[in-house]
């Protein structure tokens, strides 16, 4: 248990106030260190922001694939309501006329008869057999059980739960309810309906007696068909998308008709890439400007100011080509769209070389700058840790100092109290002596 010291017992002087003032003097170095620590922490915070901006730019540069940007192809249709297309970098540049002869569609068949209401039941049990032709030679078989007392919707549910190629539903003719079977996906079969030869994609036998046979054809199965140029041989697809018609080219048809399809180099990503580069660059420069401005924490700091001058040097290929506008006021940049568009059309290879050079130089430099900022942060954090240790030691000494002061002043007050008591006794003695002396003379 700590000793208890009470000041002012003698009333002679206020030792508590004197101790507080002495402690305030002793506290001044701690206050100075605390203020120094706050300044360093603010610097570390600014360095953290700068590191983040540099690191973001470094990631942007590292993920930049110059080859892909200059290899992109664009497919353009003269009538997008007829067809659209996508191309890859491997698709050759070309122009061709296409005629969409027909669109892909699924086969839809219904039973020849039906039930009077949805609640009517089948009068017998059995197993119906479904065939789904994946092409003209191959088919899949599904056996579907039905039971006496089931409804037509129960049968449709059984069919749908047993397989994924045929979609069963109830078809209402206006007078009765029939079973309708539809291809679930046109891409699952290349076979087309030929009613003249009774060739179907979907076949069904042994239907419940109430449904009869699957003789009603609601819609033919057909493949999409296009003709290229003057060719007399159409190209077909089970879906409305023709994949890999030419290397890397996918065409999606939307309606019958004709359209001209052109494949060309697509340099549009270059614009957005340089724009994003400028934005990232300006973010770093603007941050450095605020950190090194007059009166700012890093004014004249070589580690930080060197980054700005280094950035400017690395821009040289872009500046010499006229691809960017450089601001002498604050060091920020913007893309010169006119020069960029001119180079894209006249000399894309030169543009590619410039961007490759800039990517390489910035990538190397950014790695060095982020490492330098990290080292700077570590140094400042070490100072903070050192200050924290000094403050802790000084605070511990201050506690001991206060303890010593209070003990010494308590002893001093005790001594003064004793002296006051002796003085009071002497005074009383002198008074008594004086009275006695005076009385004797009488």
Any domain includes 414: no
pLDDT digits (tens, 9 = 90+) for 327-373: 999 999 999 999 999 999 999 999 999 999 999 999 999 999 999 99
Same structural domain, 188 and 206? yes
* Other CB atoms within 10 Å distance of the CB of residue 261: 24
Same structural domain, 229 and 98? yes
Any domain includes 4: no
CA–CA separation, 97 vs 65, rounded Å?
Answer: 33
Any domain includes 421: no
Same structural domain, 145 and 248? no
Any domain includes 441: no
Are 82 and 255 in contact by the 8 Å Cβ rule? The answer is yes
Same structural domain, 170 and 57? no
Are 201 and 194 in contact by the 8 Å Cβ rule? The answer is no
Any domain includes 282: yes
Same structural domain, 164 and 239? no
pLDDT digits (tens, 9 = 90+) for 177-188: 999 999 999 999
Query: How do strand 83-86 and strand 249-253 relate by DSSP bridges?
Result: antiparallel
Any domain includes 243: yes
Are 165 and 130 in contact by the 8 Å Cβ rule? The answer is no
CA–CA separation, 411 vs 409, rounded Å?
Answer: 5
CATH number of the domain where residue 308 is located: 1.20.1330
The three-state secondary structure class of 331 is: coil
Same structural domain, 23 and 156? no
Any domain includes 429: no
Same structural domain, 273 and 376? yes
The whole domain housing 339 covers: 15-68+269-403
Same structural domain, 241 and 175? no
Same structural domain, 276 and 392? yes
pLDDT digits (tens, 9 = 90+) for 59-89: 999 999 999 999 999 999 999 999 999 999 9
pLDDT digits (tens, 9 = 90+) for 219-266: 999 999 999 999 999 999 999 999 999 999 999 999 999 999 999 999
Q: What is the pTM of this model?
A: 0.68
Any domain includes 424: no
């Amino acid at each position: 248990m700590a000793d208890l010291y009470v000041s002012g017992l003698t009333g002679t002087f206020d030792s508590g106030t004197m101790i507080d003032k002495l402690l305030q003097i002793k506290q001044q170095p701690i206050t100075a260190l605390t203020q120094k620590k706050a300044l360093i922490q603010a610097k570390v915070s600014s360095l953290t922001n700068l590191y983040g901006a540099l690191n973001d730019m470094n990631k942007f540069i590292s993920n930049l694939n110059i080859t892909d940007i200059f290899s992109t192809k664009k497919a353009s249709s003269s009538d997008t309501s007829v067809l659209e297309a996508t191309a890859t970098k491997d698709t050759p540049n070309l122009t061709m006329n296409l005629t969409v002869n027909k669109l892909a569609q699924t086969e839809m068949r219904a039973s020849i008869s039906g039930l009077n209401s949805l609640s009517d039941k089948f009068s017998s049990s059995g197993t119906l057999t479904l065939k789904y032709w994946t092409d003209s030679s191959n088919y899949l078989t599904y056996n579907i059980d039905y039971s006496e007392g089931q409804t037509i919707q129960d049968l449709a549910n059984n069919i749908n739960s047993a397989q994924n190629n045929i979609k069963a539903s109830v078809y209402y003719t206006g007078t009765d309810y029939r079973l309708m079977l539809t291809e679930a996906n046109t891409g699952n079969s290349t076979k087309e309906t030929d009613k003249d030869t009774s060739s179907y994609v979907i076949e069904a036998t042994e239907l419940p007696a109430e449904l009869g046979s699957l003789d009603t054809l609601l819609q033919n199965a057909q493949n999409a068909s296009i003709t290229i140029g003057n060719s007399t041989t159409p190209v077909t697809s089970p879906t409305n998308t023709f994949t890999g018609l030419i290397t890397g080219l996918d065409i999606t048809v939307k309606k019958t008709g004709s359209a001209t399809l052109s494949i060309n180099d697509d340099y549009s990503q270059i614009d957005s890439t340089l724009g994003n580069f400028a934005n990232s660059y300006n973010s770093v420069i603007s941050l450095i400007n605020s950190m090194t401005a007059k009166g700012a924490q890093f004014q004249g700091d070589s580690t930080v100011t060197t980054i700005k001058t280094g950035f400017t040097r690395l821009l040289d290929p872009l500046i010499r080509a006229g691809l960017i506008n450089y601001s002498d006021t604050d060091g920020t940049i913007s893309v010169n769209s006119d020069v960029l568009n001119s180079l894209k059309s006249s000399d894309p290879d030169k543009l590619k070389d410039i961007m490759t050079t800039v990517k390489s130089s910035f990538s190397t430099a950014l790695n060095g700058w982020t490492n330098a900022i990290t080292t700077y942060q570590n140094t400042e954090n070490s100072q903070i840790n050192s200050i924290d240790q000094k403050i802790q030691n000084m605070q511990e000494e201050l506690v001991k100092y206060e303890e010593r002061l209070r003990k010494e002043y308590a002893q001093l007050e005790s001594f003064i109290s004793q002296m006051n008591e002796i003085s009071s006794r002497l005074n009383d003695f002198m008074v008594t002596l004086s009275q006695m002396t005076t009385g004797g003379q009488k």
